[in-house]
Amino acid sequence: MIHPPFFDTGRSFEENVLHGPFNAFADGEVFLREGEPQHRFLGFPVYLPFGIPAGPLPTARFAKAAFEKGFDLPVYKTVRTRELRSHPWPNVLPVEVDGDLTLEKRDKGLVVADDFREPLAITNSFGVPSSDPSFWQEDMREAVQAAGKGQVLIASFQGTNRGEGVDAFVGDYVLGARLVKETGAQILEVNYSCPNEGTTNLLCYDTDRIERISARIKDEIGNTPLLIKLAYFESQEHLRDMVRRLGKIVDGFAAINTIGAAVRNKDGSQALPGEGRLVSGICGAPIKWAGIDMVQRLKALREELGYSYAIVGTGGVTKPEDYAEYRAAGADAVMSATGAMWNPYLAKETQEYVKKHGIQ
């Protein structure tokens, strides 16, 4: 069932940061847990390995509300080492997708839908905005401390390519990791897969580069667990080589980010205003197949290569059954962005569902 969203798509990113969260995430109602946490994620006890991935939770107030509603693994939206403004509003639009967003449908591009409805299919385009560390470090510290028993905050960050060469780019990731770790965050996630920056090639597809960056980040943060956020990999050989090299450096893989596709109005014009915004990230129900596929492949590779990394399954989780499907596919934790935005009770409903059906 669709509820009014806690991140208001009718407002700009800045207004959400200043005034959000909205609707049920602002009612202060707490989903109370009983007993002891029965699960562990990267060594941390959790009631349910379920959360909200990087995106819909841009401030401590959003993260606190997510904890209160039973999302035990919320991710604080990706931050940078310097302020960067969001793409102009609108940033989220509903899109028409008939069934799965196959790669053929992605290549043809999509058309905007009239309203947000089930099955939820949206595009989002923010450009990974960030406040200055002088603001977000203090706010992130609050978010870390808002975790209750059996809950832990994950902090997402990324570097920025300012055209100053590879060393500076790598160094910016390392600085980001240091600044995030200073907040007390216990799990870090580095975003290598945003399609909304106007670049055609995602960083996660450049194995040499992410191997170098990840090794430098791990040198910086020591034993603090590091997840890396991936997009969908079409080639199994490419994925296998990347996992073989990165699987011994990082502590886990989070997959998937959105799938980039051109989005147009019904008259064929570009839907989102501004340069570099014809292609934007598609998420929600139609990308579940791709998230499940990546989780299954990451699990098979973990067995084949004898690694022990964690797998975070994301993409198209809009109902409790989707959580169960991801767990069966091999996800150690499951997350929902689009589904949770329009259903603040998804964690509670999933808890009830797993209890009833005896699912882990």
> How would you label 198-229 residue by residue, b for 16+ Cβ within 10 Å and e otherwise?
eeeebbbbebebbeebbbbbbebbeebbbbbb
Q: Which residues, 6+ apart, have CB-to-CB distance to 162 below 8 Å?
A: 168, 169, 172
- Among candidate residues 60, 140, 194, 210, the one labeled active-site is 194
Q: In the complex with ligand FMN, which residue's Cβ is closer, 38 or 199?
A: 199
Binding mask 65-84 for ligand FMN (x = CB under 6 A): ------------xx------
Cβ 203 to ligand FMN shortest distance, Å: 11
Q: With binding defined as CB under 6 A, does residue 336 bind ligand FMN? A: yes
Only segment of 16-24, 51-59, 145-153, 239-247 that touches ligand FMN (CB under 6 A) = 51-59
Residue nearest to ligand FMN (CB): 55
Pairing of strands 121-124, 92-96: antiparallel
188-207 residues near ligand FMN, rule: CB under 6 A: 191, 194
Q: Which of 51, 315, 320, 344 binds ligand FMN (CB under 6 A)?
A: 315
Do residues 310 and 228 lie in contact, with contact meaning Cβ atoms separated by under 8 Å?
no
- Cα dihedral 37, 138, 27, 154, rounded to 10, equals -30
Q: What's the gap between Cα 260 and its chain centre?
A: 15
Q: Is 243 in the site for ligand FMN (CB under 6 A)?
A: no
CA dihedral for 26, 70, 349, 281, sign (positive or negative): positive
As a whole number of angstroms, the distance between CA 305 and CA 195 comes to 29
Q: Please state, in angstroms and rounded to a whole number, the distance separating the CA atoms of residues 118 and 342.
A: 10
Active site residue 283: no
Q: Binding residue for ligand FMN (CB under 6 A) from 257, 280, 350, 351?
A: 257
CB within 8 Å of 163: residues ≥ 6 apart: none
Q: Is 317 in the site for ligand FMN (CB under 6 A)?
A: yes
User: Encoding tokens for residue 22?
Assistant: 């909205």
Q: Which is nearer to ligand FMN, 202 or 283 (CB)?
A: 283
Residues 131-170 that bind ligand FMN (CB under 6 A): 156
CB of 256 to ligand FMN, least distance (A): 6
- Pairing mode of beta strands 50-51, 121-124: unpaired
Whether the CA torsion 24, 349, 120, 154 is positive or negative: it is: positive
Among 106, 229, 277, 297, binds ligand FMN (CB under 6 A): 229
Judged by CB under 6 A, which of 338, 343, 350, 351 binds ligand FMN? 338
Question: Annotated active-site positions, please?
Answer: 194
Residues that bind ligand FMN (CB under 6 A): 53-56, 77-78, 92, 124, 126, 128, 156, 191, 194, 229, 257-258, 283-284, 287, 314-317, 336-339
